[in-house]
Amino acid sequence: MIKAIALDDEPLALEILQSLCAEVEYIDLQKTFTKSDEAFKYLKKYPVDLLFLDINMPSISGLDFYKKLPHKTMVIFTTAYSEFAVEGFTLSATDYLLKPISFSRFQQAAEKALQHWKTQNQNLEQQYLFIRADYSLIKILFSDILYIEGLDDYLKIHIQNQKTVVARMTLKVLLQKLPSTEFIRVHRSFIIPISKIEKIRNKMIHIHEAEIPISTSYEAAFFEILNQK
């Protein structure tokens, strides 16, 4: 469910937004505001996913209000003036709705917000994984992994500033759990995170104090990915 609030100096415009949001099952419009200072205080204390924001307000423009926000929030600008559209999109707005807002146009903007929200949450979910080892489920951040070493049906996950985790699992199975844009297999016994490579010399990858060989069968794919970075 997308958590949202709306800010508009016109109460009628807020009523219309409330009725539009009520027709979309995945948007939870939690509060509405006619005063920008009250909305700003609320957002500092209760961050939301989406902000419906009028541009032409007496105390502060919606564009300036959005620039002041302390954290990243999706925004759908609403206004009766089309000349603000270009500047709205330069602020990476999710969409721009021209008043009066039809339901079909609102639904289109809501769908954009939903897709963006799903992408954001998917990325958050992909920051770690759980590995069963030592009779426990151990949470390992992708960003902490130095490299992974395979030993038959076991593997060692070498972790920055932490004890190495030994788990009963194959490299093939683990590779499917890792983000393909960040991790690559370079040898039948090694998976590495591309971001941790310090240097490559004589077909040896240097990560921290380890030297990891690049095997002939993985060499072409490895260097092709490096050239794309």
- On whether both 153 and 219 belong to a single domain, the answer is yes
Higher-confidence residue of 61 and 148: namely: 148
> Percent of the chain at pLDDT above 90?
62
- The total of structural domains in the chain comes to 2
Q: What's the rounded mean pLDDT across residues 117-143? A: 82
The CATH number of residue 57's host domain is 3.40.50.2300
Full-prediction pTM beyond 0.75? no
Residues 102 and 197 in one domain: no
- 110 and 154 share one domain: no
Residues 6+ apart with CB under 8 A from 31: 5, 6, 42
Backbone dihedral angles phi then psi of residue 65, each to the nearest 5 degrees: -60, -45
pLDDT tens-digit series, residues 62-94? 888 988 887 778 999 998 876 655 555 556 789
Q: Are residues 207 and 187 in the same domain?
A: yes
The confidence score (pLDDT) of residue 212 equals 97
How do residues 140-185 score in pLDDT, each as one tens digit? Answer: 999 999 999 999 889 999 999 899 999 999 999 899 888 888 899 9
16 and 68, same domain (yes or no)? yes
Q: Do 144 and 223 fall within a single domain?
A: yes
Considering the domain architecture, whether residues 158 and 204 belong to the same structural domain is answered as: yes
Where does the pLDDT of residue 216 fall: very low under 50, low under 70, confident under 90, or very high at 90 and above? Answer: very high
Based on the fold, state whether residues 99 and 150 are members of the same structural domain: no
Answer yes or no: do 51 and 139 share one domain.
no
Number of neighbours of residue 2 by Cβ within 10 angstroms? 19
Q: Residue 155, SS3?
A: strand
Q: Are residues 31 and 45 in the same domain?
A: yes
Buried (b) or exposed (e) across 103-139, using 16+ Cβ within 10 A?
eeebeebbeebbebbeeeeeeeeeeebebebeeeebe
> pLDDT category, 128, cuts 50, 70, 90?
confident
Q: Is the pLDDT of residue 125 over 60?
A: no
Of 100, 125, 150, the last residue of a domain is 125
Q: Write out the residue range of the structural domain in which residue 192 sits.
A: 128-228
Alpha carbon distances (Å) from 15 to 5, 21, 81: 12, 10, 19
